[in-house]
Homo-oligomer: A and B are copies of this chain.
Amino acid sequence: MTVNVLATYEIATALPLEKAAAVIAGEQSSGTFVAVARETGELKARHAATVRSIEELPLSGRPPLPGAVGDWSAARRSRIVVEFPVVNFGPSVPNLLAAVAGNLFELRELGELRLVDLDVPDVFGSVYAGPAFGVDGTKRLVGKSGDRGPLIGTIVKPSIGLGPEELAELVEELALAGIDFIKDDELQGNPPGFPLAERVSVVMDVLKRTADRTGVMPMYAFNITDDISNLARNHDLVRAAGGSCVMIVINSVGFAGVQYLRERSELPIHGHRAMFGAFARSPQLGIAFRVFQKLARLVGVDHLHTNGIANKFYETDDEVVASITDVRAPLLGGYHVVPVLSSGQTPAIADVTYARVGDPGDLLVLAGGGIHAHPGGSGAGVTAMRDAWDAAVTGEALADRAERSPALAASLAQFGARP
């Protein structure tokens, strides 16, 4: 661990690699496009970012990003590590971002530029406390400390538009079926027709009523995403009603908004990654999940969406496995958060997911359509998910378990076995 910040980029350039790397280091620290007065050797020694390593990579084969200068037939690609003096910005995520992910994406010296890793020194831990609940705190609140399986959760579907009676009916069905976790959709914020305050009231009434019968209450993540000034009020609504989780769309409020909420939250923060693709899907540009997840954990989410195996989005299973591995890796020695698997999740893929990601004791697996579209209703969908994961973890074939589990059998018939 360095005392400074190490940023790793994948770049492609038609310039000599050393020169392109130096442009990044200069633009993002003490330099500008011409030498200026007062840019002394002493100042550079203290403040200049420096290129620590350059490792050549195979070319991507893609045409360069617009504006790239030079003869692209001579382009080379490499992974470079740049060290930024922490004295330039201090332990401040917003100011760190301006340095390691600021203007450099616009440099014409580069035809590809991706920030693929970021190591911050321990001093960031003095400002950013990270997850207040994390894996252990979440499982404790759900009453599943020490449980082997993943937490099983779902997203309210349809995403938006349910009225109070329909939502109450759905939540009751899920709670009675023994689900661990329910979340609002990322599209469900604080809509005028059915505002958050009313949703909290309706949902918590149902959850308390069903808990009186079942003895357990699922965690419900209320999407409190909103203007910053409303976040504390929204959180307090949930807290006052006895709720146990708040959800935030990280990119809608920024890492700074998450940190603001973290300072005021008494509940686990469920971090949704909507909009991630806008700066991550191009293999030539932007910011990789490895960086995104570190920053999200630093600013204090307790749960973080990683996408899921066999998802409906663009990422391959290998990429999803890498994301989950990244979230599980210690950050500054800790910052353990719950990887949240979602998107196209169904009981039919419990076994392949288990085979790819291993011990699911820290996971939250969310199935939206995979539960709600069950021919027997959402309650049967929960049973099917639970049975599928229990089979996977205990090494039983899903098809074998389905012989004893009509709910799982119906789900497998619906979604098919995954090859």
The answer to whether B38 and A274 have CB atoms under 8 Å apart is: no
Which residue of B is nearest A100, CB measured? B275
CB distance from A89 to the nearest CB of B (A): 6
Mask of A312-336 contacts with B, CB within 8 angstroms, 1/0: 1111100000000000000000000
The answer to whether A275 and B90 have CB atoms under 8 Å apart is: no
Bound-state CA distance A278–B313 (Å) is 20
Copies, count = 2
The answer to whether B36 and A157 have CB atoms under 8 Å apart is: yes
The interface residues of chain A, by DSSP majority, are classed as loop
Q: Which of B99, B191, B253 contacts A187 (CB 8 A)?
A: B99
Residues 9-60 of A at the B interface (beta carbon under 8 Å): 28-39, 43-44, 46-47
The verdict on A65 contacting B279 (CB below 8 Å), with A161-B46, A227-B260, A369-B34 known, is no
Residues 251-265 of A at the B interface (beta carbon under 8 Å): 251-257, 259-260, 263
User: Does A344 lie at the interface of the complex (its beta carbon under 8 Å from any beta carbon of B)?
Assistant: yes
The answer to whether B257 and A228 have CB atoms under 8 Å apart is: yes
User: Does A107 lie at the interface of the complex (its beta carbon under 8 Å from any beta carbon of B)?
Assistant: yes
The answer to whether A43 and B158 have CB atoms under 8 Å apart is: yes
Residues of chain B within 8 A (CB-CB) of A87 are: 191-193
Mask of A263-289 contacts with B, CB within 8 angstroms, 1/0: 100000000001111110111111100
Bound-state CA distance A36–B97 (Å) is 41
Bound-state CA distance A224–B107 (Å) is 25
Bound-state CA distance A281–B276 (Å) is 16
Bound-state CA distance A284–B283 (Å) is 11
A-B contact pairs, 13 of them (CB 8 A): A31-B159, A36-B158, A36-B368, A38-B158, A43-B161, A65-B314, A88-B191, A90-B190, A90-B191, A92-B227, A98-B252, A102-B274, A227-B256
Interface residues of A (CB under 8 A from B): 28-39, 43-44, 46-47, 61-63, 65-68, 87-90, 92-95, 97-99, 101-108, 115, 127, 157-162, 166, 170, 186-187, 189-193, 225-229, 249, 251-257, 259-260, 263, 274-279, 281-287, 307, 312-316, 344, 368-369, 372-373, 377-378
Given contacts A32-B372, A35-B373, A66-B281, could you give 9 more A-B pairs where the C-beta distance is less than 8 Å? A30-B158, A36-B368, A36-B372, A65-B282, A87-B192, A88-B191, A95-B225, A106-B307, A108-B312
